[in-house]
Amino acid sequence: MTAYDKPLPKIDALTRPFWELARDHKLAVQVCQDCGDRHFPAGPVCPKCLSKDQAWEPVSGRGTLFSWVTYHRAYWNGFAKDLPYDVCLVELDEGPLFVSNLVGGADVAVGDRVEVVFEKITDEITLPKFKPAD
């Protein structure tokens, strides 16, 4: 098996829980324990109320296709063999926008329902991706 050669996430204290949950096939967003605001990407404080009391909570993994694009240029060599590849923008049912990849290859349209699937890429990292909802 060849080494994984695409960009890997930078894991730090802020993002570690997200990747640990993804390894367990759970998509999570940061939830403010004071005001309940749900946000992603993670921040050190709540963007609504500035509380530092933030936790990660799994979401439904369901959302709506906000938009998508198809790359015909590889900005990293690791993506060259995948060209053309799709990147989607999903509006999670819980609110935040999430960038990911579409899998399944079916024709899609803005507004389609999608759901998360998980793709293990290294022992440490599992990427959440999306497919058309059943």
Partner 1 sequence: MSDIGALKDKVAVVGVGNTRYGNFPETDDYGLGADAFRNAVADCGIDKNEIDGLLVCRIPYYARMGEILGISPRWTIPLPPHGRMSSMGIIEAVAALNAGLCKYVALIYANIGRSRRVNYGGDESPNIWDPWGYTSPGAAHAMMFQRHMALYGTTTRQLAEVSVAFRRHACLNPDAVMKQPITIDDHENARPIVLPLRLLDYCLINDGAVCMILTTKERARDLKKPPVMISGIGAREAYAEGSLSNFERDFWYPQLQEIAGEVYGMAGVGPSDVDAFMCYDNFAPTVLFSLEGLGFCPKGESGRFVEGGTLQVGGKLPTNTDGGHLSNSYMQGWALNVEAVRQLRGECGERQVPDCEVVQFVAATPCSRSIIYTRG
Considering the rule CB under 8 A, would residue 16 count as an interface residue with partner 1? no
Considering the rule CB under 8 A, would residue 111 count as an interface residue with partner 1? yes
**Burial (Cβ within 10 Å: 0-12, 13-18, ≥19) of residue 106:** exposed
Task: Give residues 115-134 in contact with partner 1 (rule: CB under 8 A).
Answer: 121, 125, 127, 129
Token code pair at residue 28: 């999570």
Amino acid identity, residue 91? E
| Closer residue to partner 1 (CB): 50 or 69 | 69
- Over its C-alpha atoms, the chain yields an Rg (Å, rounded) of 16
One residue of 49, 87, 120, 124 binding partner 1 per CB under 8 A: 87
Contact 97, 111 (CB under 8 A): no
Considering the rule CB under 8 A, would residue 76 count as an interface residue with partner 1? yes
Helices (H) and strands (E) in the chain, counts: 1, 8
- Residue numbers at the binding site for partner 1 (CB under 8 A): 6-10, 15, 41, 66-73, 75-76, 79, 82, 84-85, 87, 89, 97, 99-101, 109-111, 121, 125, 127, 129
